[in-house]
Structure 1
Amino acid sequence: MKIENESQLRELYGYPSGRAKDKVLNHLEKHAINFIETSPFLTMSTSSSKGKMDASPRGGASGFVKVLDKTTLVIPDAKGNNRVDSICNIIETGTIGLLFLIPGVDETLRINGSAYLSTDKAYLELFTEEQNSPKACIVVSVEEAFLHCAKAFMRSKLWDASAQIKSHSFPTMGQMLKDQLGLQDEPESRDAMVKRYKKDL
Structure 2
Amino acid sequence: MEIINFSNGAVTSKEELRELVGFPHEHVIKKEISIIDEHCKKFISMSPLFFLSTSNAEGRCDVSPRGDRPNGIKILNDHQLVIPVRPGNKRVDSLMNILENPHAGLVFLIPGLDEVLRINGRATVITNEELLDDMGGKAPFIGIGLDVEECFIHCSRALLKSKIWSPDTWQDKESLPSGLDIFLAHLSINGVEIKK
Q: Scaled by the length of structure 2, what TM-score is found?
A: 0.90
Q: Equivalent residue for 1:138?
A: 144
Does residue 42 in structure 1 map to residue 42 in structure 2? Answer: no
Tell whether the 8 Å contact from 1:78 to 1:133 is kept in structure 2 after alignment: no
User: 1:1-201 maps to which residues of 2 (within 5 A)?
Assistant: 1-127=9-135, 129-130=136-137, 132-182=138-188, 184-187=193-196
SS in 2 for 1:111: strand
Query: Where does structure 1 lack aligned partners over 5 or more consecutive residues?
Result: 188-201
Q: How many residues align?
A: 185
Alpha-carbon distance between aligned partners in 1 of 2:98 and 2:177, rounded to the nearest angstrom: 33
The aligned amino acid for 1:171 is P
The aligned amino acid for 1:94 is P
Task: Render the CA deviation track for 1:86-107: whole Å, top value 9, x for unaligned.
Answer: 0011111111100000000000
Alpha-carbon distance between aligned partners in 2 of 1:106 and 1:28, rounded to the nearest angstrom: 20
Identity of aligned residues (%): 37
Alpha-carbon distance between aligned partners in 1 of 2:78 and 2:173, rounded to the nearest angstrom: 40
The aligned amino acid for 1:86 is S
**1:16, CA displacement in angstroms?**
1.0
Tell whether the 8 Å contact from 2:187 to 2:193 is kept in structure 1 after alignment: no
**1:185, CA displacement in angstroms?**
3.4
Aligned Cα root-mean-square deviation (Å): 1.3
**1:166, CA displacement in angstroms?**
2.4
Q: Equivalent residue for 2:6?
A: none
Task: Render the CA deviation track for 1:152-187: whole Å, top value 9, x for unaligned.
Answer: 000100101112122232232111122222254333
Alpha-carbon distance between aligned partners in 1 of 2:47 and 2:119, rounded to the nearest angstrom: 13
Query: Runs ≥4 in structure 1, deviation > 6 angstroms?
Result: none
Tell whether the 8 Å contact from 1:26 to 1:142 is kept in structure 2 after alignment: yes
